[in-house]
Amino acid sequence: MDNLTPAQRRKNMQNIRSSNTKIEETLRKVLWHEGFRYRKNYKALPGKPDIVFTKYKIAIFCDGEFFHGKDWDKLKQHLENSNNGEYWIKKISGNKERDEEVNKELLNMGWTVIRFWGKDILKNTDECVKMIKEKIFEKKHGSAEEN
């Protein structure tokens, strides 16, 4: 348990960004350096994806582990025993449900959805970029199933 005052906690929460986060900027920087051009926080699509390749209909989300509920069963159990746990369980559950709805909407619109966890982006940026390149290649040349 942390020893923050309510004012300190509030200040910390206000400093959490919803766009242009370190994880988004890390991934974007490598993609840009490799010659890929994209849209940022594309408002024309459900969920306002962090990175969008409109030409290939690929939407990429860079999800923070806490707010998007990575290892949800373990995190939920931890939150049940914490201050304000009920609030966070409801908030993160809602985020997870919204993420699923956004994925479904985009898929129904013919988009490919890629979601990366923040720590995966920071620790394995090259692997994330490789996955994006593979999806772009599939879109350019058709997947093996279409040939």
* pLDDT tens, residue by residue, 51-100: 999 999 999 999 999 999 999 989 988 898 888 889 999 999 999 999 99
Give CATH for domain 18-140. Answer: 3.40.960.10
- What does the block give as tokens for 63? 């999800």
Mean of the per-residue pLDDT values of the chain: 88
Residue 36: what pLDDT? 96
Angle, alpha carbons 34-128-46 (nearest 5°): 95
> What pLDDT, on the 0 to 100 scale, is given for residue 13?
52
pLDDT classification of 114: cutoffs 50, 70, 90? very high
Residue bearing the bigger pLDDT, 82 or 111:
111
pLDDT of residue 82: 84
5 against 133, higher pLDDT? 133
Distance from C-alpha of 49 to C-alpha of 94, rounded to nearest angstrom: 17
The span from the CA of 139 to the CA of 59, in Å, is 13
Question: What's the predicted TM-score (pTM) here?
Answer: 0.83
Average confidence (pLDDT) over 13-29: 76
Question: Which of 9-13, 29-33, 35-39 is predicted least confidently?
Answer: 9-13
Q: What is the distance, to the nearest Å, from the Cα of residue 38 to the centroid of all Cα atoms in its chain? A: 16
Has residue 1 got a pLDDT over 50?
A: no
Cβ within 8 Å of residue 50, ≥6 positions away = 19, 24, 27, 40, 41, 60, 61, 62
Confidence of residue 143 (pLDDT cuts 50, 70, 90): low
